[in-house]
């Protein structure tokens, strides 16, 4: 992705978050120069709080991509240092922009339509060899347990949420004609390095073409930009 594209998506996301009344923490607005002056920021850096814009290594963001902002997170590998057992994110999913099919071995999560457009989410159970199961499955939507066919398209309108269990494949996109969707995620600790199982191999973070200065650093860039070992 080009840095200019990433900057544009972040600017758009900040406006959308403001429109639904979600206030971001202060570090969401730090410039690279601001970061260099900060102290005692280990929790932000090590737990990858902040901006995350990914095209999953496929170089077609509008087709396959997602913008995320991690508000809070624990650390699966450093539980003594960071005792939080939960995480919270905001996301922006455009119309027909797909987040690829994946599950988590450990993480339980609620995916919440916080506002704007409608979300289409597709669920499958995993087989023992981690393929898609065609068997029917149960999922809880706002506390109501419902039965779905594997691969059925489920529509979440603003305010609605769905509970995603471990080994439950899920993919989602914004419903055409309804505008971008602002999503929330409330979950157990998020561990992108060790707890994502994508059905088809993809990259997690984009290769970036530096065609302009970063508006804000991405969460996977802190160590590189700040020269933290």
Which residues are registered as beta bridge partners of 86? 188
Say how far apart CA 111 and CA 14 lie, in whole Å: 20
CATH classification of the domain holding 43: 2.60.120.10
Q: How confident is the model at residue 228 (pLDDT cuts 50, 70, 90)?
A: low
Residue 103: CA count within 13 A, CB half-sphere: 20
User: How many domains are contained in the chain?
Assistant: 1
Q: What confidence tens digit (pLDDT) does each residue in 198-222 have?
A: 999 998 889 999 999 999 999 999 9
**What is the C-alpha separation between 162 and 170, in angstroms, rounded?**
11
Contact 198, 64 (CB under 8 A): no
Residue 227 pLDDT > 80, yes or no? Answer: no
Query: Could you report the per-residue pLDDT of 48-81, keeping only the tens digit for each?
Result: 999 999 999 999 999 999 999 999 999 999 999 9
Provide the pLDDT for residue 78: 96
User: What's the domain range around 81?
Assistant: 3-226
Token pair of 89, please? 């994110």
Q: What is the pTM of this model?
A: 0.95
CA–CA distance, 5 with 65 (Å, rounded to integer): 12
């Amino acid at each position: 992705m080009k840095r200019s594209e990433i900057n544009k998506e972040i600017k758009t996301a900040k406006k959308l978050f403001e429109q639904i009344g979600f206030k971001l923490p202060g570090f969401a607005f730090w410039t690279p120069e601001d970061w260099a002056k900060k102290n005692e920021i280990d929790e932000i850096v090590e737990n990858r709080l902040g901006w995350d814009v990914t095209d999953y290594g496929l170089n077609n963001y509008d087709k396959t991509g997602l913008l995320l902002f991690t508000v809070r997170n624990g650390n699966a590998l450093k539980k003594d240092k960071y005792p939080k057992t939960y995480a919270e994110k905001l996301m922006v999913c455009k119309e027909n922009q797909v987040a690829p099919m994946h599950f988590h071995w450990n993480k339980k999560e609620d995916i919440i339509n916080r506002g704007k457009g409608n979300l289409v989410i597709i669920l499958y159970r995993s087989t023992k060899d981690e393929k898609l199961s065609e068997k029917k499955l149960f999922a809880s939507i706002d506390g109501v347990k419902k039965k779905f066919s594997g691969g059925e398209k489920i529509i979440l309108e603003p305010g609605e949420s769905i509970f995603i269990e471990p080994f439950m494949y899920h993919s989602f996109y914004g419903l055409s004609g309804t505008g971008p969707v602002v999503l929330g995620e409330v979950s157990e600790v998020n561990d992108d390095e060790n707890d994502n199982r994508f059905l088809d191999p993809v990259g997690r973070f984009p290769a970036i073409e530096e065609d302009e200065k970063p508006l804000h650093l991405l969460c996977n860039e802190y160590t590189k930009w700040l020269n933290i070992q």
